[in-house]
A = this chain, B = another copy of it.
Protein backbone atom coordinates (compact mmCIF):
# COMPACT_ATOMS: atom_id res chain seq x y z
CA UNK A 1 0.00 0.00 0.00
CA UNK A 2 1.33 3.45 -0.79
CA UNK A 3 1.94 5.68 2.20
CA UNK A 4 -0.48 8.47 3.09
CA UNK A 5 1.99 11.02 1.74
CA UNK A 6 2.54 9.20 -1.55
CA UNK A 7 -1.10 8.44 -2.00
CA UNK A 8 -2.10 12.05 -1.32
CA UNK A 9 0.48 13.53 -3.70
CA UNK A 10 -0.16 11.14 -6.60
CA UNK A 11 -0.37 12.83 -9.99
CA UNK A 12 -1.68 11.66 -13.30
CA UNK A 13 -0.33 13.13 -16.51
CA UNK A 14 -3.18 14.74 -18.44
CA UNK A 15 -1.24 16.49 -21.18
CA UNK A 16 2.17 17.82 -22.11
CA UNK A 17 3.65 19.01 -18.82
CA UNK A 18 0.16 18.96 -17.29
CA UNK A 19 -0.85 16.87 -14.31
CA UNK A 20 -4.02 16.19 -12.40
CA UNK A 21 -4.07 15.46 -8.71
CA UNK A 22 -6.36 15.36 -5.72
CA UNK A 23 -5.92 17.46 -2.60
CA UNK A 24 -6.86 15.23 0.30
CA UNK A 25 -8.58 16.44 3.47
CA UNK A 26 -6.05 14.55 5.59
CA UNK A 27 -3.55 17.44 5.82
CA UNK A 28 -5.92 20.14 7.04
CA UNK A 29 -5.35 22.91 9.53
CA UNK A 30 -8.46 24.91 10.56
CA UNK A 31 -8.37 27.07 7.40
CA UNK A 32 -7.77 24.18 5.00
CA UNK A 33 -4.83 22.17 3.66
CA UNK A 34 -1.50 23.32 5.06
CA UNK A 35 0.67 25.23 2.62
CA UNK A 36 3.50 22.70 2.75
CA UNK A 37 1.20 19.92 1.57
CA UNK A 38 -0.07 21.88 -1.42
CA UNK A 39 3.51 22.93 -2.18
CA UNK A 40 4.62 19.28 -2.05
CA UNK A 41 1.93 18.29 -4.56
CA UNK A 42 3.13 20.99 -6.97
CA UNK A 43 6.76 20.07 -6.29
CA UNK A 44 6.05 16.47 -7.27
CA UNK A 45 5.00 17.76 -10.70
CA UNK A 46 8.26 19.72 -10.91
CA UNK A 47 10.18 16.55 -9.94
CA UNK A 48 8.59 14.68 -12.82
CA UNK A 49 9.77 17.32 -15.30
CA UNK A 50 13.08 18.54 -13.94
CA UNK A 51 15.46 15.77 -14.93
CA UNK A 52 17.21 16.03 -11.54
CA UNK A 53 16.23 13.89 -8.57
CA UNK A 54 16.12 16.37 -5.67
CA UNK A 55 14.32 19.62 -4.95
CA UNK A 56 17.13 21.94 -3.80
CA UNK A 57 15.22 25.20 -3.35
CA UNK A 58 11.49 25.59 -3.85
CA UNK A 59 9.39 28.72 -3.33
CA UNK A 60 5.61 28.88 -3.40
CA UNK A 61 3.44 31.99 -3.43
CA UNK A 62 -0.03 31.17 -2.14
CA UNK A 63 -2.34 33.37 -4.16
CA UNK A 64 -5.67 31.76 -3.30
CA UNK A 65 -7.12 29.28 -0.86
CA UNK A 66 -6.75 25.65 -1.94
CA UNK A 67 -9.52 23.30 -0.77
CA UNK A 68 -9.67 19.51 -0.77
CA UNK A 69 -10.56 18.28 -4.25
CA UNK A 70 -9.15 18.16 -7.77
CA UNK A 71 -6.18 20.27 -8.82
CA UNK A 72 -4.42 20.77 -12.11
CA UNK A 73 -0.74 21.58 -12.31
CA UNK A 74 1.10 22.94 -15.30
CA UNK A 75 4.89 22.94 -15.46
CA UNK A 76 7.02 25.35 -17.46
CA UNK A 77 10.72 24.48 -17.83
CA UNK A 78 12.92 27.52 -17.15
CA UNK A 79 16.45 26.23 -17.64
CA UNK A 80 18.15 22.87 -17.57
CA UNK A 81 21.82 23.23 -16.68
CA UNK A 82 24.50 20.68 -15.96
CA UNK A 83 24.25 21.04 -12.21
CA UNK A 84 20.83 22.63 -11.65
CA UNK A 85 17.47 22.48 -13.35
CA UNK A 86 14.86 25.20 -12.75
CA UNK A 87 11.14 24.98 -13.49
CA UNK A 88 7.94 26.77 -12.65
CA UNK A 89 4.58 25.30 -11.70
CA UNK A 90 1.08 26.74 -11.67
CA UNK A 91 -1.50 24.98 -9.51
CA UNK A 92 -5.17 25.66 -10.26
CA UNK A 93 -8.54 24.59 -8.90
CA UNK A 94 -11.58 25.02 -11.10
CA UNK A 95 -9.44 27.09 -13.45
CA UNK A 96 -8.41 29.54 -10.69
CA UNK A 97 -4.79 29.83 -9.75
CA UNK A 98 -4.03 28.99 -6.11
CA UNK A 99 -0.28 28.56 -6.00
CA UNK A 100 2.68 29.60 -8.14
CA UNK A 101 5.96 27.76 -7.59
CA UNK A 102 9.57 28.20 -8.64
CA UNK A 103 11.94 25.31 -8.01
CA UNK A 104 15.57 24.51 -8.67
CA UNK A 105 16.51 20.84 -8.65
CA UNK A 106 19.86 19.10 -8.28
CA UNK A 107 21.40 15.72 -7.55
CA UNK A 108 22.15 16.02 -3.84
CA UNK A 109 24.02 12.73 -3.97
CA UNK A 110 26.54 14.31 -6.34
CA UNK A 111 27.07 17.51 -4.31
CA UNK A 112 30.70 17.88 -3.31
CA UNK A 113 32.43 20.54 -1.31
CA UNK A 114 33.28 21.80 2.12
CA UNK A 115 31.02 21.13 5.12
CA UNK A 116 31.08 23.32 8.24
CA UNK A 117 28.01 23.57 10.45
CA UNK A 118 27.76 26.19 13.21
CA UNK A 119 24.64 24.72 14.80
CA UNK A 120 23.40 21.51 16.41
CA UNK A 121 20.19 19.48 16.32
CA UNK A 122 17.53 20.39 18.90
CA UNK A 123 18.71 19.28 22.31
CA UNK A 124 15.62 17.19 23.08
CA UNK A 125 15.36 14.53 25.80
CA UNK A 126 15.41 10.95 24.54
CA UNK A 127 12.22 9.83 22.81
CA UNK A 128 11.07 7.71 25.74
CA UNK A 129 11.36 10.72 28.08
CA UNK A 130 9.22 12.86 25.77
CA UNK A 131 5.45 13.06 25.61
CA UNK A 132 2.89 12.75 22.86
CA UNK A 133 1.18 16.17 22.70
CA UNK A 134 -1.44 15.19 20.11
CA UNK A 135 -4.01 13.81 22.61
CA UNK A 136 -3.84 17.17 24.43
CA UNK A 137 -5.29 19.05 21.47
CA UNK A 138 -8.81 20.21 22.44
CA UNK A 139 -11.45 18.11 20.76
CA UNK A 140 -13.04 21.00 18.85
CA UNK A 141 -9.66 21.92 17.37
CA UNK A 142 -8.62 18.32 16.74
CA UNK A 143 -11.66 17.84 14.52
CA UNK A 144 -10.40 20.65 12.26
CA UNK A 145 -6.73 19.65 12.26
CA UNK A 146 -6.46 16.36 10.42
CA UNK A 147 -2.76 17.00 9.76
CA UNK A 148 -2.08 16.30 13.44
CA UNK A 149 -3.06 12.66 12.75
CA UNK A 150 -0.44 12.32 10.00
CA UNK A 151 2.61 12.52 12.26
CA UNK A 152 3.86 10.80 15.36
CA UNK A 153 5.23 13.61 17.50
CA UNK A 154 7.16 13.66 20.76
CA UNK A 155 7.84 16.85 22.72
CA UNK A 156 9.69 17.84 25.87
CA UNK A 157 7.44 17.26 28.91
CA UNK A 158 5.36 20.37 29.56
CA UNK A 159 5.63 21.54 25.96
CA UNK A 160 4.20 22.96 23.83
CA UNK A 161 3.12 25.57 26.35
CA UNK A 162 -0.18 26.32 24.59
CA UNK A 163 -1.28 22.72 25.25
CA UNK A 164 -0.05 22.78 28.87
CA UNK A 165 0.28 25.75 31.25
CA UNK A 166 -0.52 28.25 28.52
CA UNK A 167 1.24 30.06 25.66
CA UNK A 168 4.91 30.45 26.60
CA UNK A 169 5.22 33.93 25.11
CA UNK A 170 8.05 32.81 22.84
CA UNK A 171 7.25 31.61 19.33
CA UNK A 172 9.50 28.57 19.30
CA UNK A 173 9.13 24.82 19.07
CA UNK A 174 11.34 21.72 19.23
CA UNK A 175 9.94 18.28 18.45
CA UNK A 176 10.70 14.73 17.42
CA UNK A 177 8.51 13.71 14.50
CA UNK A 178 7.94 11.22 11.71
CA UNK A 179 5.09 10.14 9.47
CA UNK A 180 2.54 8.14 11.48
CA UNK A 181 2.49 5.31 8.92
CA UNK A 182 6.25 4.85 9.08
CA UNK A 183 7.01 6.27 5.66
CA UNK A 184 10.57 7.56 5.77
CA UNK A 185 11.24 11.17 4.82
CA UNK A 186 12.85 12.00 1.50
CA UNK A 187 13.57 15.36 -0.16
CA UNK A 188 10.02 15.70 -1.53
CA UNK A 189 8.41 14.84 1.80
CA UNK A 190 10.58 17.45 3.54
CA UNK A 191 8.75 20.13 1.54
CA UNK A 192 5.62 19.19 3.47
CA UNK A 193 7.28 18.29 6.77
CA UNK A 194 8.77 21.77 7.36
CA UNK A 195 5.17 23.04 7.53
CA UNK A 196 3.65 19.98 9.22
CA UNK A 197 3.58 21.11 12.84
CA UNK A 198 1.43 23.84 14.43
CA UNK A 199 2.48 27.45 13.87
CA UNK A 200 4.76 28.74 16.62
CA UNK A 201 2.61 31.85 17.05
CA UNK A 202 0.21 29.66 19.06
CA UNK A 203 2.83 30.22 21.80
CA UNK A 204 1.99 33.94 21.56
CA UNK A 205 -1.69 33.28 22.21
CA UNK A 206 -2.58 33.62 18.55
CA UNK A 207 -5.10 31.29 16.92
CA UNK A 208 -3.46 30.56 13.61
CA UNK A 209 -1.61 31.77 10.56
CA UNK A 210 -1.93 32.03 6.79
CA UNK A 211 1.11 31.33 4.60
CA UNK A 212 1.84 34.03 2.02
CA UNK A 213 5.11 32.54 0.75
CA UNK A 214 7.09 29.44 1.71
CA UNK A 215 10.67 28.69 0.67
CA UNK A 216 12.21 25.30 1.41
CA UNK A 217 15.89 24.45 1.01
CA UNK A 218 16.58 20.72 1.01
CA UNK A 219 20.11 20.38 2.33
CA UNK A 220 20.54 16.61 2.24
CA UNK A 221 18.76 13.29 1.74
CA UNK A 222 17.55 12.23 5.18
CA UNK A 223 18.62 8.95 6.77
CA UNK A 224 15.74 6.69 7.86
CA UNK A 225 14.32 7.21 11.32
CA UNK A 226 13.02 9.97 13.51
CA UNK A 227 13.45 13.61 12.54
CA UNK A 228 13.91 16.55 14.85
CA UNK A 229 12.27 19.89 14.09
CA UNK A 230 13.20 23.34 15.38
CA UNK A 231 10.91 26.24 14.56
CA UNK A 232 10.77 29.88 15.55
CA UNK A 233 9.18 33.17 14.60
CA UNK A 234 11.25 36.10 15.83
CA UNK A 235 9.81 39.11 14.06
CA UNK A 236 6.06 39.66 14.23
CA UNK A 237 5.53 43.08 12.65
CA UNK A 238 2.13 44.60 11.85
CA UNK A 239 0.57 41.13 11.75
CA UNK A 240 3.20 39.59 9.44
CA UNK A 241 5.87 37.21 10.66
CA UNK A 242 8.55 34.94 9.28
CA UNK A 243 8.60 31.37 10.54
CA UNK A 244 11.89 29.51 10.22
CA UNK A 245 12.15 25.74 10.44
CA UNK A 246 15.07 23.34 10.55
CA UNK A 247 14.74 19.58 10.12
CA UNK A 248 17.54 17.31 11.36
CA UNK A 249 17.78 13.60 10.59
CA UNK A 250 18.70 10.58 12.70
CA UNK A 251 22.38 11.00 11.81
CA UNK A 252 22.39 14.55 13.26
CA UNK A 253 22.54 16.24 9.86
CA UNK A 254 20.49 19.26 8.84
CA UNK A 255 18.37 18.03 5.94
CA UNK A 256 16.00 20.94 5.38
CA UNK A 257 15.60 24.59 6.22
CA UNK A 258 12.57 26.69 5.48
CA UNK A 259 11.29 30.19 5.94
CA UNK A 260 7.76 31.31 5.36
CA UNK A 261 6.20 34.75 5.39
CA UNK A 262 2.84 34.43 7.09
CA UNK A 263 0.03 36.54 8.50
CA UNK A 264 -1.79 36.13 11.76
CA UNK A 265 -5.36 34.96 11.44
CA UNK A 266 -7.69 37.72 12.56
CA UNK A 267 -10.93 36.79 14.22
CA UNK A 268 -14.08 38.82 13.80
Contact = CB atoms under 8 A, between A and B. Distances in A.
Interface in A99-117: 100, 102, 104, 108, 111-117
B78 A261 contact: no
Contact of A59 (B59, B115, B253): B59
Interface stretch (A37-45, A141-149, A153-161, A233-241): A233-241
Nearest to A246: B235
Interface of A (DSSP majority class): strand
A213 interface: yes
Nearest to A80: B63
Contact of A84 (B102, B212, B236, B237): B212
Interface of A: 56-57, 59, 61, 63-64, 78-79, 81, 84, 86, 88, 97, 100, 102, 104, 108, 111-119, 170-171, 204, 206, 212-213, 215, 217, 219-220, 232, 234-240, 242, 253-254, 257, 259, 261, 263-264, 266
Given A56-B212, A119-B234, 5 more contacts: A64-B81, A102-B102, A108-B238, A111-B240, A114-B236
17 contacts: A56-B261, A57-B261, A59-B215, A61-B78, A63-B86, A64-B79, A84-B212, A88-B88, A113-B240, A113-B264, A113-B266, A114-B206, A115-B238, A117-B234, A117-B235, A119-B234, A217-B261
